[in-house]
Structures are given as C-alpha cells and as structure tokens.
Amino acid sequence: MSDAQRLVVPRSRAQAAGAGPEQAIVKPQDQQAPGRKGPLQLAAVGLKKSYRKAQVEIPVLRGVDLEVRRGEFLSIIGQSGSGKSTLLHLLGTLDAPDAGEVRFENRRIDNLPQAGRDTLRNKQFGMIFQFYHLLPELTTLENVLSPLMIAHGAWSYFRHRRDHLRRATQLLDMVGLAHRLKHKPRELSGGEMQRAAIARSLIAEPQLLLADEPTGNLDTATGEEILSLLRTLNDQRQLTIVMVTHDRAIAAQADRTVRLVEGQVEVV
C-alpha cells in the first residue's frame, strides 16, 4: 500500500487538528466536520417497538425520529436498557418496527423483503458490535473476507479471489493488523478483534457504519484507539457513522449526540 492510500490514524482528535507533516493527508477543509455534511442519508420516522414478556407489552421505542446526513458521525447515548441496540437493529433492518419507517437514500427500507434487506446489509451497511462477532474458526484475514464470500457466492468469489485478498490485506494494514493476518480471534486482544471487525465491516465498501457499543468491552486507552480509527474513517473517507454507547466521553467524540430517553430521542 502506498503512503497516499494509507489511512492516517491520529491518536486523538486534538492531535488530528494539529496535524504534523506525516498527517498531511488530512486536508484542512476536512477537519471542519460539522461544516461538510451531505444530504439526508438515513432517517427514522415515528419508530415504535415493544417486546412482549409473559403477556405484558413493554414499550422500548415510543416514536423515534432521527435524521442522519451523509458523512456525519452521530452518537446515540442512553442508559443500559434504554433501547439503543433495539434502535440500531431497526436502522440496520436486522429487526422490523411495530410502527414507523426507516428510510435510506430516499427509499423506505424497513418493509423490504428479506432478500432486499440482506443485500442492503451486505453491500451498503457495515456493522460492528461490542463483542466483535468474529467467527472463531476463521483467521483474521478469512473473517475480513467472509462477507464477500456470502455476498458474491462461491463461484464469483473465487474468480475475483486475488482482488478480494488484496483489498482485505489493505484494510487490515490500514487498521494496524498487517502482522495478524493468520491469527484466530482467540489469539487476538480485544482491541485487535475490534480492529478486525472494523476491517470486515468495510470490505464491501459500505456507505454507512452502524456501531453498537464498539468500545463497550475495551479498556479506556484501547477504546480511545478504536474511536480514533472511527473518527479517521469519518474524516478521511466521509463514511457516515451511527454509534450507540452508554459512555458520554466516547459519545462526545462524534460530531453530534442525541440521547434516548423513555423511548424517544432528545437533542443533547
């Protein structure tokens, strides 16, 4: 990978703002994150979701309205049990709302047939989770490649195998895991597993990254590193990120934060 392709990962946002010579890839205009938001990309309109437990209906989301612009880094905070994961799953079409709509690029997506939702998740959305969800039997490199095997099918995958391998290796280099290609998840640290999961989430070149407590299982310093990586992806590649977290300090590193309270979104 040439230096121009390599993602420069600053250690902190403050450091990114005072970029040294080796960080010259970050253009000054890119640093003014709030000023460069694109058109509306993702929207939740009046989302409602309840769970039924022993004949009792427990409302979790009571009419969530949310708008995310292309290139934005939004964090959603809320206490444990406030419905953050539920909301993220609805945004990512992993689950369907009881009422309301999810819209992506001006198209309603919550009511698409299964195949349409699968395509959306395989091609347009990247997702990362608190517990990484790596496949334990696969190496780091194979984990990163796995979405392509699923999305392309075996025949097409093997025909383009060389390109896929090159791309997966580049992504793992970008997240700082070039020396861990053959390791299995159990041989990686928590931070390394999350880096691998981030590389995997990017392999299909998604337009939107949905992150559910991506630092929730990491110590503070490692969590900061993962956040820096996400910030850099947002700053340098204009990847839209929606991240849920219960951690205010982590949330504060996004461009904008909203809070889930009693099943609705409040501006922070």
Describe the chain by its helix, strand, coil percentages, rounded to 5. 40, 25, 35
Q: Which does 196 bind (CB under 5 to 8 A by kind): ligand ADP, Mg ion, none?
A: none
Identify the residue among 80, 113, 136, 137 touching ligand ADP (CB under 6 A). 80
- Name the helix (H) or strand (E) containing 163: helix 161-174
Binding mask 35-74 for ligand ADP (x = CB under 6 A): ----------------x-x------x--------------
85 part of the interface to ligand ADP, by CB under 6 A: yes
85 part of the interface to Mg ion, by CB under 5 A: yes
For tokens 């696969």, name the residue. Answer: 138
CA distance 151 to 222: 31
- Name the helix (H) or strand (E) containing 252: none
82 part of the interface to ligand ADP, by CB under 6 A: yes
User: Looking only at residues 65 through 84 of this chain, which bind Mg ion when binding is defined by CB under 5 A?
Assistant: 84
175 close to 1: Cβ distance less than 8 angstroms: no
Q: Select 152 or 246, whichever has its Cβ closest to Mg ion.
A: 246
Identify the residue among 81, 111, 163, 219 touching ligand ADP (CB under 6 A). 81
- Give me the phi and psi of 117, to 5 degrees please: -70, -40
Shortest Cβ 64–ligand ADP spacing (Å): 12
Strands 73-77, 256-261: parallel, antiparallel or unpaired by DSSP?
parallel
158 part of the interface to ligand ADP, by CB under 6 A: no
CA distance 257 to 255: 7
Residue number with the smallest Cβ distance to Mg ion: 85
Shortest Cβ 55–ligand ADP spacing (Å): 13
Q: Select 87 or 168, whichever has its Cβ closest to Mg ion.
A: 87
User: Looking only at residues 141 through 200 of this chain, which bind Mg ion when binding is defined by CB under 5 A?
Assistant: none
Q: Select 85 or 253, whichever has its Cβ closest to Mg ion.
A: 85
Binding mask 95-124 for Mg ion (x = CB under 5 A): ------------------------------
CA distance 41 to 94: 18
Tokens at residue 62, please? 């009571």
Q: Which does 53 bind (CB under 5 to 8 A by kind): Mg ion, ligand ADP, none?
A: ligand ADP
- Residues 6+ away with beta carbon under 8 Å from 259: 76, 77, 78, 265, 266, 267, 268
Q: Select 83 or 126, whichever has its Cβ closest to ligand ADP.
A: 83
Q: State whether the Cα torsion 241-47-55-80 is positive or negative.
A: positive
